[in-house]
Structure 1
């Protein structure tokens, strides 16, 4: 039978969005326009759909220093990406830098480039986006504004603080702790405000901010207050106290800029409403060792669980040593009764040649398609075919048994001893799968469609620095090859260096490889997928939090 092709009407939202981002699409960035785009307060998942669309199609991206680096992964290949951050307390220097940014935006717009000015939070809320828009307007350069989730809204929501509440606060005031001239805000303007007050850019003068808020006829010193640093990010930190004690508590906790100060009775709801910092992976820095093209999806899953992904691939994917064999195998698909894939990388590399030859799903003919797990099956489905055979346990032994037990192949084997199997895999892999199939009488052609190699030696120093500085809490071991490459990269003493962090393995095979290298694995997934691995980590940290004597700070 022919492999089942995906129904085009079932196209995923992600695929539809990707199509909309092609150059020339209705929503793509257009030449000679500057887009002032709000990046949100920190969590890259809070970028708007319109912002993502523009990032994927713009010629030039100018971004603030505090923009999450994951957002820059959305920029199209070949685009010009420039950092124009200007943090610091020297107002003269910052004003001069802003003038340079204004001039650069104007020049790029007049040169006919499509430009995204990616700004933290919202462009028009204390972000000088309005000044940039004024400069563009004076020069006659068209511009558009794409609002973003501002830090008072994002940080408070992630901290479990509702800015308004039907029974507590019916208004919100957002103020800057300092004026453009560098003077303190005139707090007497807030004498009649009884709702919630959010203060931005007030941490460097926190004592003066608190004193101003507690001036004559203003806030009671016992008013609940909070300071939220790095709101919406995995390293978010929150300090709650009485208003008059906030400077002392902030100093003790080491809270610094960037932070939002929140004053009002609503902050007293935090213990009930907090959710983000109760996620099992909250605050954990997770080393993602997968190849770069796979690391992004893993990093996103880590962030959704409250952690911060640190991408440092320990292996690289390279073409196979004999590409002609891949070409021959693809052209001979009609002669096989089963085609077997043992990794997502194998699917991607096989189909690269598949597409180069201009083929589609019909080329598989009546062959049965087998995938070692749901991740590999999903990679096939994304390319228009569905796996016929997926074992319950994602191991070579189980895949061999599932292939041999497949009714269509069993019928074929009963009628004729000649059952041909194509195994598309890495150059170096476990031999258990082809050996078991051959032992059952199958003819197996093992065709390497890619080769894994250790990451470049230059990555060693980066990895050693991160480990020695305590910047890593968890290391994800997603395959035996990543384990070997990680140990080879660290060299002598690898086990001792990795003994300081939690090692989490995607499955028993990977764990066995790690133990052979002297590593101590703390978590092994029951389901050998990335999601299964992260679920196992969730359970591990949930159990730790539930243990007597454990507590979360904040």
Structure 2
């Protein structure tokens, strides 16, 4: 049985610009064949067991030649697999989607083409340049900077006399020739021009000028491919319409050290403000299974007058087990629920539970202060939490009443991104490092190595709270800022305030 191939436009770079239909094709794929212009964040949406094949496609430096890519798509489909060919931009806008489609047709392979946002439109938008405007351009023209044959030449006379916006894709290496030919064939040297590097990515860079000086400016700024060349009066609108680069955290590289499972909330908030969130997970969350103690506690849950949750992970693992055992949230009606902070309380809300107590200080000491005057020796407290958590809360509460601590998960060291971290440190491309627990600190330092402590002192370190700050200082590092509110929002607010203060 033959499979099927989806030729999917991944958009110009920002992974959120993928279409819903494109996302569906990614999620059901058995094989994803992708190139360098497609954001690899999209690969996280693939199902478990999906095969990933990178085919490169940098200008004149192809990891896999086009003819081999065509054959790969056919071979995988003939194995009965669903193949998603993930391409930057739109498959039919200089994306060779037509060539791949023809080959699939010839080989009698079922295929479907899913359009994507081309960088010729989306890339200009993120640079604050509209492709058309009633006062400046009533048309736009997308031109390749690289023809199929090197000895072939663009019809410059026709192109130079077009009155609309001119957009050249894959043409940076020929920028000098492009501007010279446009001027030679009739364009005024004063015509506005722009070059957009890595359009829609958090590392986007834009250089503006005129046909006369744009080449020198681009050369001086060290702009590299991938880049889009724009020629026309619409470039002048950039000062008014450039919203993307004006976001508060634009241009800031911020390392997120939480586990992969936990990092999404912090990453999304950083990106919402335009920052480049770099995920370097230092810990892995692993459930403790089998867990007879947790099952026993749930079977006797009505005996507990208080249940204390100290993390979102603890919440999720507790309720997963509760549901697996055939219970639901109603069984907790005899217990008062305590959450260490707003994040944990929010996670409880997902299960229909509103925390009765959330301390003013989002640490174990804060919980103890809230409970010490209202509990008595007849109370029983259940604390399902991480193995290796600080003993303070259990020790202090046990002086007043019966406390059952159940270890539901453990945090393990995750070194999967160690090489990437070392590269970032050596390149000096980190503006902030965020830490949300003492375990993220310990594992990060272990990965970075003692030899890099000096370098890390020059990076702004943001801590979620006092316990984490203590762990940071133990390694002779400075806490640049500690979140006033010990939450993810508090961390983000710390960074924003620092940027605003200059």
Indicate whether the TM-score tops 0.5.
Answer: yes
2:60 to 65, 76, 89: 89
Please point out which of 243, 260, 283 is paired with 1:275.
243
Measured in 2, the distance between the counterparts of 1:89 and 1:477 equals 41
Q: 1: CA distance between counterparts of 2:258 and 2:436?
A: 7
- 1:37-116 matches, within 5 Å, as 37-89=8-60, 97-116=65-84
Aligned mates of 1:464, 1:101 — CA distance in 2: 33
Among candidates 409, 416, 431, match of residue 391 of structure 2: 431
Give, in whole Å, the separation in 2 of the partners of 1:359 and 1:189.
73
Matched, 1:379 2:347: yes
TM-superposed CA distance for 1:240, in Å, is 0.6
User: Which residue of the partner structure matches residue 414 of structure 2?
Assistant: 455
Q: Is 2:254 aligned against 1:295?
A: no
Q: 1:107 to 1:383 in 2, by over 3 A?
A: farther
Structure 1 residue aligned with 2:322: 354
**Residue 490 (1) aligns with residue 459 (2):** no
TM-score, normalisation: structure 1: 0.85
3-state DSSP class of the match of 1:471?
Answer: coil
Quick one: distance in 1 between partners of 2:451 and 2:294? 39
Pick aligned residue for 1:159 from 127, 134, 138: 127
| Aligned equivalent of 2:155, options 183, 186, 190 | 186
State the distance in 2 between where 1:403 and 1:66 align: 54
* Unaligned residue ranges in structure 2 (runs of 5+): none
d(CA) in 1 for partners of 2:123, 2:180: 23
* CA positional deviation for 1:117: 0.9
Deviation digits for residues 295-316 of structure 1, max 9, x if unmatched? 2443333322222222222222
Which digits, 9 at most, give the CA deviation of each residue in 1:81-103, with x for residues without a partner? 1112222326xx78x82111112
Distance 1:462 1:102, change over 3 A: closer
Pairing of 1:394-405 with structure 2 (within 5 A): 394-403=362-371
**Residue 179 of structure 1: how far off its partner (Å):** 1.6
After TM superposition, the structure 1 stretch with the greater mean CA deviation from structure 2, 390-399 or 149-158, is 390-399
Q: State the SS of the aligned residue for 2:212.
A: helix
Match of 2:356 among 388, 398, 407: 388
Query: Secondary structure at the residue paired with 2:382?
Result: strand
Distance in 2, Cα, partners of 1:332 & 1:81: 47
**2:145 — aligned with what?**
177
1:167-187 CA-partner distances (Å, limit 9, x unpaired): 222211111122212333212
- Structure 2 partner of 1:25: none
Tell me, yes or no, if the aligned pair for 2:192 and 2:233 is still in contact at 8 Å.
yes
Measured in 2, the distance between the counterparts of 1:349 and 1:228 equals: 46
RMSD of the TM alignment (CA)? 2.4
Alignment partner of 1:294: what SS? coil
Decide which of 174, 180, 185 is 1:211's aligned counterpart.
180
Please, which runs of 5 or more residues in structure 1 have no aligned partner? 1-29, 545-554
Matched residue, 2:224: 256
- SS of aligned partner of 2:84: strand
TM-score using structure 2 length: 0.93
1:506 corresponding residue in structure 2? 464
- Answer whether contact 2:2 2:78 (CA < 8 A) is retained: no
SS in 1 for 2:408: strand
* Number of matched pairs: 501
Q: How far 1:123 sits from its partner (Å)?
A: 0.9
> Which whole-Å CA distance do the structure 1 matches of 2:362 and 2:229 have between them?
49
